[in-house]
Amino acid sequence: MPLTQSEADSLIALAKVFENDDPLIIGDAAIDFTRRLVSEDRREIFMLDMWRGSLNLSKYKIQLRGREITPLVRVDVAGAPHTNPDDSVVECPHIHLYREGYEDEWAFPLKDFPFRDPDDIVVTFEDFARFCNIQSFPNIQWRTK
C-alpha cells in the first residue's frame, strides 16, 4: 500500500538502528547486501540495500526501504542519468526521494544535499546514514578484490 508523503517523511526522520552489529563489508570489490534496521522503539522495520558493480567499481547505490518494501531514499553514483516524471534529466550522482504518487521516481542532484564526497563509498554511506537518521552502525570493514 503506498505511503502518504507525511508517512514517508516521518519514516525517513525516525531514528533507526541496525538490528545486529555484524560488520559492514565495503571495499573496492563488488558489493550486494541488504541489512535490516529497526526504529529505536522496534515498531518499524527498514531495509538498507548496498550494491556496487563488479565491472565499474565507481558505480554504486545505497537505498533505504521503509516497511521492508517501499523505497524511501536512494543514492546512485556513476550510473546513467535519470529522467524524472516531468522529463527533466538529472545526471549522476543523484538522490531519489519518496514522493507520494510517484514512490522513488523523482531524483535530484546529490550536490544539493549534505553529501561530502560521492567518490568515496564509505563517506557517502556515513552521509546517507546521517541523512536517514541511522543512529549508529556497525564497524565498517574494508574488503579488497
pLDDT in tens, 74-93: 999 999 999 999 999 999 99
Separation CA 139–CA 126 (nearest Å): 11
- Which single residue is written with the C-alpha cell 505511503? 3
Q: Is the pTM of this model over 0.85?
A: yes
The reported pLDDT for the residue numbered 28 is 79
Cell representation of residue 45: 522495520
23 vs 54: CA distance, rounded Å: 21
